[in-house]
Structure 1
Amino acid sequence: MFPEIIVQPIATQVQSESRPPQEGDTQTRPVALCKFDEHMMSLVPTYKPLNQQELRDFLTLSGATEDTMDQYLQAYNRRMEYKIQHGGFRVIGVKPQPGDPNVYTVRVPDSPYVLRMWTGGMDYWGQFCLDFFDVERKVPVNLPAGYALYPAATTMPPGIGAGHPFPARLARANVQPLQRSYPLGSWERNMGMTSIPDGEEKWAIPEGMPVMLRRDGHPDFTFQMPTRPPAMVVVQPQRGIPYY
């Protein structure tokens, strides 16, 4: 029986060979033909806007005809401009760019991989995005062969649970895989994709949740998702001066 390993993620920078287009690149970025795509390209360097035919098809589905195409496009742009000026859009799942300091990582022992964790727009739901990253090739990768992520069960004492770090003296003894649990599905697999582009697979997992990585021929490897400071400030009790 393999011993269990439990680790905490750390904030770090992982460099990637992929990068957004830079000034002077010979490959030019596509042109945004509508206000929404223009806004998205400013938020996500790798975003691909609709081409002319795709935009026409979209407006046609919205009710436009050949005679009213320009009118529908102008109305659509006005609606998008209003949304941008009044809160904008929440973009979720976008993978981090090279040098992003807000990425947490956990090194997977005896492998070329780290697990990356980043907000990815999921803070509203109390979650972090997660993927696998090859530190030798410096590229994100899909779920490696023979790997699976599972929710890990804990038997923590009262007052300790999701959102709190593992106590060192309890970590090894109190974490097991959930009985009859299924692997955590990535967004892509949960959407029914059978062919996932290289490096695009990702998961969304609640903050503070213990997760177990199982690998063929290796011990179970348990880590905890990072946590965020609580949004609500509460008064903490003090010890030492009785007032009763």
Structure 2
Amino acid sequence: MDGVYSSGQASSESELAARRADYDRRMNGMVELGGGKVAVYGAKPRPGEAGVRITQVPAAHPQESLAIRFFDGGLALRGQYMFDLFDLRSKTALNMPDGLVFYPHFRPGQVPFLGHVMSWEEAGRMAKSDIPAGEERFSLPEGVVVELRRPGMPPFYFEVPVREVVSSVNPATSIPFSM
């Protein structure tokens, strides 16, 4: 295909078709390497999807019905959960209102980072005003304790769920011991 381009552009319909066929062949080869599946990361759950979990957030006022919604998002093999802010009354995902911030508290052995938990959109340098309603999402490793800070409210702590490990190994259980 190196000879197809003179200035980086295909110069005829047949050259464009050849360029597209080469691209399709390479992309199909990559999909085959993945077992015929394309990994999708960050997808929000569909209504009724299995494995979705919630942690209800104490209400700041009687009309508020917030929860933290945890879902796979394609991150299970990486030991992480996706999560977002969710309105239980309207059953809709929300973007983080101004003033609400997540702070992680890592356990020993987990690799920590400093500062607040950024949404995927914030980490991608997307302006808050450009994030479509209900599309903001976050991710953290399983088992991390998270602090939600809200103006005028005490901090609320919750834990990212930990998936049960299914294994054919039956390890011995340790028991208390004293000398």
The interval holding the TM-score normalised by the smaller chain is: 0.7 to 0.9
TM-score, normalization by structure 1: 0.57
Distance in 1 between the 2:58 and 2:16 partners? 57
Instruction: Note the aligned Cα RMSD (angstroms).
Output: 2.6
2-structure distance, mates of 1:136, 1:161:
38
For 2:126, the equivalent position in structure 1 comes to 193
The residue aligned with 1:65 is 10
The one-letter amino acid of 2:132's match is P
In structure 1, the partner of 2:90 is 137
Q: Paired residue for 2:42, among 83, 90, 93?
A: 93
Distance verdict in 2 for CA 1:91–1:85, change over 3 Å:
same
Residue 185 of structure 1 and its aligned partner are, at CA, apart by 0.9
Greater length-normalized contact order (CA 8 Å, ≥ 6 residues apart): 1
When the two structures are aligned, how many residues end up with a matched partner?
156
1:184 equivalenced with 2:117 (yes/no): yes
Provide the residue aligned with 1:109 in structure 2. 58
- Kindly provide the amino acid, as one letter, of the partner of residue 22 in structure 2: A
% identical equivalent positions: 34
Q: Show the counterpart of 1:82.
A: 29
Offset of 1:126 from its aligned partner? 1.5
User: Structure 1's 237 and 107: CA in aligned 2 closer, same or farther, altered over 3 A?
Assistant: closer
Q: Do structure 1's residue 147 and structure 2's residue 147 form an aligned pair?
A: no
Tell me the residue number matched to 1:121.
74
How far does residue 101 in structure 1 lie from its aligned partner after superposition? 1.8
Distance 2:118 2:174 in 1: 43
Runs (5+) with no aligned partner, structure 2: none
Please tell me whether the aligned partners of residues 65 and 87 of structure 2 are also in contact (alpha carbons under 8 angstroms): yes
> Runs of 5+ in structure 1 lacking a partner?
1-59, 155-159, 163-177, 240-244
* Residues 140-166 of structure 1 deviation map (CA, whole Å, 9 limit, x = unaligned): 111123211011366xxxxx987xxxx
Q: Which amino acid aligns with 1:77?
A: D
Alignment partners' CA distance in 2, 1:91 and 1:145 = 29
